[in-house]
Amino acid sequence: MKRYLITGASRGIGRAIAEKLAGPDVELLLHARDTVALAEVCKAVKHHCARVVRLIHDLAVPSGVSDLIDQVGKKPLDLLVNNAGIAIVKPFCEITSVEWEQTVGVNITAPFLLMQRFAGQMPPGSSVVNILSIAAKTAFANWSAYCMSKFALEGFSQSVRDELREHRIRVLNIYPAATNTEIWDDVTGDWPREKMISAEEVASAVAYALSRPDNVAVENITLSNAAGNL
């Protein structure tokens, strides 16, 4: 039996990854805040995996992360997917300190604490998947808080990757371009959905990286729109 923890699994890319990785030998630990949406995802995957567990915690606050860690328990994970994320998109002068701290909490501190707690206990051949973004490598006007968080996680996870090599634990970083999910619903401006890639394509890339033999790490995957990114 394999144990997979996926954060932000209630919709979008996290949900697509949960659906893609469900298997008869897999226990899926699915995390988010939205109890109704997460229940729907659990219902959709439960016949395709050995067991599914719902974990409802707010990663923007330290107590939410520690409660999630406690609920996952001591049994080692075979896969940690750091997917939960938020995007505050506005001129940097208008970003409030609360929005900044929430971005740091969900997009940086939660992955840090989850990797710190779980990665060291993973068996050889296990993986950590970080859902980064093309905004982890390229900065865009009005995306300063988001780019800050993804650049930070990029640097952190590259260092952790090297620390975990001796344990044969793979750190797989995924860099999607604009992906058609609800994260865009609150972003001001014209963001044509037809120019975005799908969450299922991101999930397929994750599944491909994980499907390689244990001694092969597909360390970085960038997913662009073939016709050009937004």
Ligand X SMILES: NC(=O)c1ccc[n+]([C@@H]2O[C@H](COP(=O)([O-])OP(=O)(O)OC[C@H]3O[C@@H](n4cnc5c(N)ncnc54)[C@H](OP(=O)(O)O)[C@@H]3O)[C@@H](O)[C@H]2O)c1
What residue ranges bind ligand X (CB under 6 A)?
A: 8-14, 32-34, 37, 58-60, 83-86, 106, 131, 133, 176, 178-179, 181-183
- Taking the complex as a whole, the smallest distance from the CB of residue 64 to ligand X amounts, in Å, to 6
Q: Rounded CA gap, 120 and 142, in Å?
A: 37
For ligand X, give the closer residue by CB, 117 or 167: 117
Q: How far is CA 93 from the centre of its chain?
A: 28
Contact 120, 167 (CB under 8 A): yes
Q: Shortest distance, CB of residue 34 to ligand X, whole angstroms?
A: 3
Least spacing, CB of residue 180 vs ligand X, in Å = 7
> Closer CB to ligand X, residue 137 or residue 167?
137
> Using H for helix, E for strand and C for coil, what is the string for the chain?
CEEEEECCCCCHHHHHHHHHHCCCCEEEEEEECCHHHHHHHHHHHCCCCCEEEEEECCCCCHHHHHHHHHHHCCCCCCEEEECCCCCCCCCHHHCCHHHHHHHHHHHHHHHHHHHHHHHHHCCCCCEEEEECCHHHCCCCCCCHHHHHHHHHHHHHHHHHHHHHHHHCCEEEEEEECCECCHHHCCCCCCCCHHHCECHHHHHHHHHHHHHCCCCCCCCEEEECCCCCCC
Q: Nearer Cβ to ligand X, position 70 or 182?
A: 182
Nearest distance in Å: CB 213, ligand X: 27
Least distance CB 215 / ligand X (angstroms): 28
- Residue nearer to ligand X on the CB measure, 83 or 127: 83
Query: Based on CB atoms, which residue is closest to ligand X, 61 or 218?
Result: 61
Q: 63 or 211: whose CB is closer to ligand X?
A: 63
Give min distance, CB of 62 to ligand X, in A: 12
Residue 124 CB neighbour total at 10 angstroms = 11
